[in-house]
Amino acid sequence: METPESERIRLLVLTPEYRDFLWLGYLLEQDPAMAPELTWCPDLIDCEDLLSNAQFDVILWDCIFHGGSETEFLRYLTVSGRERPVIALGADPEYRLAPPMLAAGAADYLCRQGLDRWNLCRAVRCLWYREQLTGPEASHLGREVASGFINRDLFFDRLQQALLRAGRAGHSLALLHINLDDFRTLNESFGYQKSDQLMLKLAERIRQHLRRSDSLMRIGGDELAIIAEMVEDSLDISRIIRKVVNALNDPLTVDGQNVVVSASLGVATYPEAGDNPENLLRRASRAMFEAKRDPGTSYRFYDQQLHIAAGYQLRLEADLRNAIRGGELELYFQPRIDLATDGVRGLECLLRWNHPERGMISPDEFIPVAERSGLIVPIGYWVIEQACKRLQDAADLGYPGLVLAVNLSFRQFHDRKMTETIFRIIFNANVDTSLLELELTESAMMHDPEYAQRCLRELSQLGISFALDDFGTGFSSLSNLQHLPISLVKIDKSFVQELGKSADAEHIIRAIISLAHSLQMGVVAEGVETEGQLEFLRQQHCDEIQGYLYARPMPWDDLVQFLSNRNSAACLQQ
């Protein structure tokens, strides 16, 4: 007898390998009561389309199928999959990987090694039965929300699930309550149907700017709510606020007319503002009504300290955008000394911001803002342009062999035209590419290792060299050294400054220098401040040093004077 359609279990199988899809299908079909209906999805593009337009009871997810981060992709599945249960399949045993997977939103975790028909079918059946018990109307809720249907029960359920995930993982969560200003006037001007269309257009525009793991829902005629999971600090929240504000800046078209709208935003965070959906929404609503006191689009935090911090970060980001256009950024240069000759071998280019009102702003303060907002990408290209100009200036002044090192942010690798842009910059500058060195950290290569390696190989073919910065502080340095065109490693200053205090630091530095030299790589020690540190590094045959013992970072004119003085001193000694 054929299984009724209502009793068939529909599964979406996310795995890049077709043989694994067939294997999982074979195991499930061994259960005569299962009657599985499987859909194979081998890539991310199809995944997004299937999650949006198709119906599934359970998602089978191979953990190697993701866009860069397992946990981030899992959170995306739990939101975009309309709360459909996700069974994660991985190579690690259950005791090791099940806890973090369940904390991130998986309904179950199974180890691929030793996976059999009984365990797989049991997991799928249990989750399917659990879904059936939630009521026949549950499968329609996602579509209703997507079409603008207001369902506060679904919102509270989704917020409760997000709070449970945050509690298990020890993460923070932010709830944004958005209320459109003067919605009554819009209803009177355009009618309820047109105003409703405007609300849906606004929601869709905001949705396009959010992270995949963020959940946007309509909870009232003129109200939206955003559940933002995995927010680390006020910088993360301010970035989401900025996206909402930007979405409101451009007019919306209703009935052939351009309409400019404004909204009031209230923000409440877990655990500071509450640990249950009712309290969190109530406090976000209270903050939203406080925001209504200000004209135009505005926001308020339930937590005053967060409000101050986020406001400061948003102002700092706005000022940084103006700084790029207004020429407030400048490069400082810190010399690198060749221990064999005691001459200046190269210079590290360091970014400085001279704010018109606040004076010099520390890089520790504005670089994180630049990275999280994406401004670091155009800033990074500007730094490379300036470095190329200074290479020409150095040659004109009689210092033709100086190497200029530029830090490359991990965000730069998010730009798919990075190599093309850098090539254009150095081609226009007409400089000796062997004198341009790009410094990168391991984190810069973790987002998309294959793309990062390809970029470095292409740039290496142009003659550009690479240094691995903060060496010794990461977890995969050895593997990176083997697969990347690295010609220099920089010992992190945290080890150098422990010299004379910690025997471990001495052992680590000896090992780094020995390893690098065995791989035909040079070594630079950062943060050298004392004669004792210098002497130890000299004894270990370190190639170059950089630090306050010789010179602090300085503007170009001061650097030229520094180089002139060293040349004069060298002539007197001869």
pLDDT in tens, 323-374: 888 889 999 999 999 999 999 999 999 999 999 888 999 898 888 888 877 7
Task: State the Cα–Cα distance between residues 160 and 154, nearest whole angstrom.
Answer: 10
Per-residue confidence band for 148, with pLDDT thresholds at 50, 70 and 90: very low
Report the DSSP beta bridge partners of residue 87: 60, 108
The stretches of 262-416 forming alpha helices (DSSP H) are 277-291, 304-326, 363-373, 376-396
Q: How many CB atoms lie within 10 A of CB 209?
A: 14
Angle between helices 376-396 and 304-326 (to 10 degrees): 40
pLDDT one-digit tens code per residue, 282-337: 888 888 888 887 777 888 888 766 566 666 777 788 889 888 888 899 999 999 99
| Percent with pLDDT over 70 in the chain | 87
The larger pLDDT score, comparing residue 538 to residue 195, is at 538
In the DSSP assignment, the letter for residue 255 is T
Per-residue confidence band for 478, with pLDDT thresholds at 50, 70 and 90: low
The per-residue pLDDT for 140 is: 38
The per-residue pLDDT for 533 is: 94
Structure token pair of residue 387: 């470095």
The greatest distance separating any two alpha carbons of the chain, rounded to the nearest whole angstrom, comes to 102
DSSP-based three-state secondary structure for 521: coil
DSSP-based three-state secondary structure for 108: strand
Structure token pair of residue 447: 């987002």
In the chain, list all ranges with CATH 3.20.20.450. Answer: 327-564
**For residues 4-18, average pLDDT:** 76
| Percent with pLDDT over 90 in the chain | 26
- CATH number for the region 5-134 comes to 3.40.50.2300
CA dihedral for 161, 268, 206, 378, sign (positive or negative): negative
Helix (H) or strand (E) holding 219: strand 215-220
Asked if pLDDT for residue 22 goes beyond 80, the answer is: yes
Would the pTM of this model clear 0.85, i.e. be above it? no
The stretches of 59-140 forming alpha helices (DSSP H) are 70-80, 94-104, 117-132
**Options 3.40.1350.10, 3.40.630.30, 3.40.630.10, 3.20.20.450; which CATH number does 327-564 get?**
3.20.20.450
Per-residue confidence band for 61, with pLDDT thresholds at 50, 70 and 90: very high
In the chain, list all ranges with CATH 3.30.70.270. Answer: 146-315
Q: How many CB atoms lie within 10 A of CB 400?
A: 11
Mean pLDDT taken over the chain: 83
Task: State the Cα–Cα distance between residues 414 and 72, nearest whole angstrom.
Answer: 16
Asked if pLDDT for residue 459 goes beyond 60, the answer is: yes
The larger pLDDT score, comparing residue 434 to residue 34, is at 434
- The answer to whether 513 touches 540, Cβ cutoff 8 Å, is yes
The per-residue pLDDT for 301 is: 85
In the chain, list all ranges with CATH 3.40.50.2300. Answer: 5-134
Q: Which of 111-115, 122-126, 139-143, 265-269 has the highest mean pLDDT?
A: 265-269
Domain 146-315 has CATH 3.30.70.270: yes
